[in-house]
Amino acid sequence: MSERALPAYPPDHYFNRELSWLEFNARVLEEAADPSNPLLERLKFLAIFSSNLDEFFEIRVAGLQQQVYAGVEPQDYGADGLAPADQLAAIERRVHELVAAQYRILGTDVLPGLAAGGIERVRFAELTDTERRHVDALFRASVYPVLTPLAIDPGHPFPHVHNKSLNIALVVERKNGSQPRRHFAVVQVPAVLDRVVVVSTHGEGRVRFILLEDIIARHLRKLFGGLRVVSHTVFRVARNTDLTIQEDDAEDLLETIEESLRQRMRSDPVRLEISADADDALSSMLVQAHDLEPRDVYRVDGPIDLTALMALHRLDDFAALRDEPLVPRVSAALAQGRDVFDVIRAHDVLIHLPYESFGPVVDFIDRAADDAQVLAIKQTLYRTSGASPIISALARAAQNGKQVTALVELKARMDEQNNITWARTLEQAGVHVVYGIVGLKTHCKAALVVRREADGIRRYVHLSTGNYNPTTARSYTDLGLFTAEPDVGEDVSALFNLLTGYADGYEWRKLLVAPLGLREQIITLIEREQRNAQQGRPARIIVKMNALVEPSVIDALYRASQAGVPIDLVIRGICCLRPGLPGVSETIRVTSIVDRFLEHSRIFYFENGGDPQVLLASADWMPRNFWRRIETMFPIEDPVLQSRVVGEILQLVLADNVKARELLPDGTYRRRARAAADATVRCQAALQYVAREAAREGSEPHPPFIPIVRRPRTPLGEPAAGAERLRTPA
């Protein structure tokens, strides 16, 4: 099949990609509204909702607007058949509903709850005399020198405001004889200063804070001496940040992307946020200045850009307002102080983040950098952290004379500048830095260590579902595999040859690789389950990933469902498959888990006639992952690790009845129903407990008994009577 293969079912059998994503963000908002979550965690979810929405507008809405405003008729409306203009109209309606709900939650629940718990936002008029003196002194010493008032008149056109910068627009009045004249002006709220300003603390457990824009607003007269400030409003503009790069014409990809990043600063506006009480004159001026439509304007009843309030989450004390800190345990297999290469040579090792520590991954590269027997290190880097210990280890390895290759993906969205910095750092240290294949993003996560040993050259491999990022490793659920299995090592060597050279024609032994047939192989695996069901053999599919969009794969799942294959899809975000359609998808259950940690691992289980096959991957089932990215899917073949993935992780994920929501045929989600007699299962809490107990006992984690059903099922995913327990590989 080609990328443009037509969907096999009518448009109403598929959900729209963008609207499905909005429902995911609605589930994030549900967590902010959930009173069972601590208040600072609810504030965190409000901030995540805002951050998610920013990227959605910068990338997805921007693309739709370009199509509509340019009058370009798209060749492909998508499987759901919804035209771009109709998508924008539906997005506008839903986002306005969600943003209104977000600010209701903030204003009626979260901020009052935080104030009762000791973290109180105050307005300027509510400051005590002591606090006001402190704020005035702070303004004179640290804020006023940074501010630049910008007049708007025929000699001063509307200034360019940077993407997502916070600004104050105002109307000022100048006396001109008997007829005062009014002018517009803009002041940018400096991003170099802390937006959350603590004005006082009252012993332990009491903090009062004010926002920087409130301080500036009360001192505007000082910036416009001799003029009267008539009105003002806070506003923010989001711009199109989707980079379009002609890689074939780029002599130096790094320089081309740097130039594109500079252009991003001045790209087209896509959304305007303004304070709810902004007067019509200011609102109209801002809409006209940014050439936006009225529907692109979002009035908010509260602080604009709630991501800034994450600073409150980092305050000392207030433990009662947060989740209990997670202390990741070192994997039992690597916790005894044995040499990491001895351990991996003896058996495969699985790391489950964030319940287990990311430290062994860093130690693997760190140890290789200094090991005299290591000849070469190769690694892909898509997103990594600020002061990355992995970058330091790779640089040291090169300085130690090893052959070190780093594939740095410069096109990792929103991390382009960070990755450019790391690429230059590595090059200066002597690392051979490459940027992958023209026209493709390198999204796979792989590290290869080549080591000389007594019995010859041996390859040690780490493959992962997530990034080499110690920071996100504490908040994303991911799985990583250490192995010295020769066929996997051979495949990973071939993968790096593909990335750094022009290797072609290699026959993969263990890995499934995109864009080299991954989509087709996945469909083959689904069709095998379909045939098994038709022949009366054991058949089942369980998939856990972030998104399901590709129509040809959805169609294969529909066909498998019609053959009677029980299918569980745990899709955190976008899901374009419509479950529960009579005669089409009755055996498919779709759930989404939104909880404390971001569910990021991709796990795939195929019953395979009673000989289960378990795989992990860097890729979701989306068109871009199948055709426009280098991705890998890799098997878990060690029986102990297979049993752990299925019997521990998937069992608990499927049993979750606290944070799991089921997708209904109409596109809405509902919390999974729990009978009074049912045990309460919150999979993230249970997995944290399992990891803690394994570390205490010094053994591999082992799953508790959870009665997970294997269908037949009734429509909408309800278990049938007499259903069996999920097969755990021996």
The pLDDT tens digits of the residues spanning 315-356 come to 988 999 999 999 899 988 888 778 999 999 999 999 999 999
* Residue 1 resides in a domain: no
* Residue 370 resides in a domain: yes
Q: Which CATH number fits the domain that encloses residue 490?
A: 3.30.870.10
| pLDDT at position 722 | 31
- Closest by CA to 17, choosing from 412, 604, 572, 550, is 550
- Closest by CA to 169, choosing from 148, 184, 147, is 184
Neighbours of 341 (CB within 10 A): 21
Neighbours of 100 (CB within 10 A): 15
Q: Do 163 and 74 sit in the same domain of this protein?
A: yes
Last residue of a domain, one of 283, 299, 321: 321
Q: Is the pLDDT of residue 652 over 50?
A: yes
Residue 427 binned pLDDT confidence (cut-offs 50, 70, 90): confident
- Quote the tokens at residue 371: 């090991």
Residue 594 vs residue 229, higher pLDDT: 594
* Residue 241 resides in a domain: yes
Residue 700 binned pLDDT confidence (cut-offs 50, 70, 90): low
Q: Do 472 and 549 sit in the same domain of this protein?
A: no
* Residue 3 resides in a domain: no
Check whether the bond before 515 is cis (ω within 30° of 0): yes
* Residue 5 resides in a domain: no
Distances in Å between the alpha carbon of 89 and those of 82, 295, 297, 409, 729? 11, 9, 13, 35, 49
Q: What is the DSSP letter of 595?
A: S
Alpha-carbon span 572 to 598, nearest angstrom: 9
Alpha-carbon span 116 to 685, nearest angstrom: 27
Reduce the DSSP state of residue 432 to 3 states and report it.
strand
- For the chain, the residue count is 730
Alpha-carbon span 59 to 241, nearest angstrom: 6
Residue 431 vs residue 154, higher pLDDT: 431
Q: Is the pLDDT of residue 438 over 90?
A: no
| pLDDT at position 626 | 95
Q: Do 648 and 678 sit in the same domain of this protein?
A: yes
Task: Name all contacts of 222-228 with Cβ < 8 Å and 24+ positions apart.
Answer: 222/144, 223/144, 223/147, 223/149, 223/187, 224/149, 224/170, 224/172, 224/185, 226/174, 227/172, 227/173, 227/174, 227/183, 228/172, 228/173, 228/180
Distances in Å between the alpha carbon of 483 and those of 416, 514, 601, 626? 31, 21, 18, 25
* Residue 6 resides in a domain: no
Alpha-carbon span 411 to 228, nearest angstrom: 48
Question: What proportion of the chain, given as a percentage, has pLDDT over 90?
Answer: 68
Q: Do 97 and 231 sit in the same domain of this protein?
A: yes
Is the Cβ–Cβ distance between 607 and 433 less than 8 Å?
Answer: no
pLDDT digits (tens, 9 = 90+) for 625-636: 999 999 999 999
Q: Do 64 and 128 sit in the same domain of this protein?
A: yes
Provide the greatest CA pair distance for the chain: 97
Is the Cβ–Cβ distance between 294 and 81 less than 8 Å?
Answer: no
Catalytic residue (one of 443, 462, 600, 702): 443
Q: Do 548 and 590 sit in the same domain of this protein?
A: yes
Model pTM? 0.90
Q: Do 391 and 461 sit in the same domain of this protein?
A: yes
Domains of the chain: total: 3
| pLDDT at position 98 | 97
Alpha-carbon span 629 to 441, nearest angstrom: 5
* Residue 367 resides in a domain: yes
Quick one: CA torsion of 547, 549, 552, 558, rounded to 10 degrees? 70
pLDDT digits (tens, 9 = 90+) for 513-569: 999 999 999 999 999 999 999 999 999 999 999 999 999 999 999 999 999 999 999
Alpha-carbon span 75 to 53, nearest angstrom: 27
| pLDDT at position 505 | 80
pLDDT digits (tens, 9 = 90+) for 255-278: 554 555 455 455 789 999 999 999
pLDDT digits (tens, 9 = 90+) for 705-728: 443 333 333 333 333 333 344 544
Last residue of a domain, one of 474, 507, 540: 507
Mean pLDDT value of segment 361-374: 96
Question: What proportion of the chain, given as a percentage, has pLDDT over 70?
Answer: 87
Q: Is the pLDDT of residue 140 over 70?
A: yes
Reduce the DSSP state of residue 258 to 3 states and report it.
helix
Q: Is the pLDDT of residue 426 over 50?
A: yes
* Residue 186 resides in a domain: yes
Q: SS in 3 state form for 86-126?
A: HHHHHHHHHHHHHHHHHHHHHHHHHHHHHHHHCEEECCHHH
- Quote the tokens at residue 665: 């045929």
Last residue of a domain, one of 507, 527, 558: 507
Q: Do 524 and 466 sit in the same domain of this protein?
A: no
Asked which of 162-166, 324-328, 699-703 is least confident by mean pLDDT, the reply is: 699-703
Q: Do 492 and 526 sit in the same domain of this protein?
A: no
Alpha-carbon span 730 to 634, nearest angstrom: 19
| pLDDT at position 429 | 87
Q: Which CATH number fits the domain that encloses residue 270?
A: 3.30.1840.10
Q: Do 494 and 611 sit in the same domain of this protein?
A: no
Alpha-carbon span 665 to 91, nearest angstrom: 20
| pLDDT at position 641 | 96
Q: Do 498 and 645 sit in the same domain of this protein?
A: no
Catalytic, 443? Answer: yes
Range of 202's domain? 11-321
Q: Is the pLDDT of residue 665 over 70?
A: yes
Q: Do 176 and 122 sit in the same domain of this protein?
A: yes
| pLDDT at position 718 | 38
Residue 419 binned pLDDT confidence (cut-offs 50, 70, 90): low
For the packed helices 84-104 and 39-55, what is the interaxial angle rounded to 10 degrees? 160
Amino acid identity at 415: D
| pLDDT at position 710 | 39
Burial grade of 689 (CB within 10 A; 0-12, 13-18, 19 or more)? middle
Mean pLDDT value of segment 83-106: 96
How much is the mean pLDDT over the chain?
A: 88
